[in-house]
Chain A
Amino acid sequence: MAAIAELPIAPAATPLRPPPFGQPSFARTLADHGLEPLRADGIEVFQINVGKLCNQTCSHCHVDAGPHRTERMTRGTAEACIRALERTSAPIVDITGGAPELNENFRYLVDASRGLDRHVIDRCNLTVLLLRSQRDLAGFLAEREVEVIASLPYFLAERTDAQRGEGVFDQSIEALQLLNRLGYGQGGRLRLNLVYNPTGAFLPGDQDALEREFKRELDRRYDVRFDRLYAITNLPISRFLDFLLASGNYERYMDRLVNAFNPAAAEAVMCRNTLSVGWDGRLYDCDFNQMLDDTVGFGAPNHITDFSEARLGRRRIVTGVHCYGCTAGAGSSCGGTTA
């Protein structure tokens, strides 16, 4: 399909980490503000990353996802996730990828989680809804009242396609209109939220102001409606780090993040209430640590088969330089700003 960008990106054998840049370590900055060690405060969001397969190849993707990726969650691991979920009170199951819907166990995870009366989020790239093999997907999500959190970096084609691939914007609008027809994004039970992330080496502006702008423009131009817009900072890992280094923006971008460190955002950072499960069942503090292969540490069980809410719910968080991305300004998380 046209959404598949033709970017010559090979899967990275070793995750690329942000190089030193002459600023204090994240742990040191936390300590300076009396926030070290950072600890989890329960598990509210049970996030499952089912793998790296995607029908798009976005230039900023922190997962390095694409059609060529073969890492996929098996049925056995998916069932282990549900067994763990049965033993938690985590109210939210957040399913991500890649394009999570392309995993053969996605619908099982949705149904089993809903069966446990959990709120389910699908992190959707929108174009997947138009694939021939996924024609019934939008209806499936609506019937189960799955919240859709969809990526749309801008309300015009040029900037969206520059990040997500040629033709993605038009297909995204078509998919949003399909979701609207099913009742999504109208302020009711079918929640449709958009994710905005900057299309370059700059930080997101005020989330509420951007939301107003997106609502006005998407309604006026395309008759599209949605509920909330989440402004997310691009973290300096994976493909976005490649871009920062190649474009000469790395040090300036890191300076912006460090200088904008906000202790209130650090206290509310998403890893404190999230557990991230990888496609192979390994456990992480967040989806970004997952891409760096940094499993949960400090003695916490690091595989879903060893899940223990008591031990994971108060675990010490593994941090790194990339964490400055979640603590800059108004903060950033999978659910937008935090402070």
Chain B
Amino acid sequence: MAVKVVLPTAFVRHTDGKKQFASSASNLPGLLADIDQSFPALGTQIKDEQGHLRRFINIYINDEDIRFLGGDSYAFQDGDEVMLIPSIAGGSL
């Protein structure tokens, strides 16, 4: 089983220019562990000091926000497209 992971341009400096890669992770925590192994610099960028995914990143499974699918508990299906997209906002005051 494998899923296709798609990255925004802002992240490709940590992946030797790759905008997508395959992962055999079975869920989101598994994918983050996989990223730590394969692209440690990317792992550092997308997680905060506590090791949680930064709140400015949204994860989509195919066309759906992963939070509508159960978040961390969602079991990746073979062929899923997993997109990491920074949320666009105006900042905090």
**A pairs with B:** no
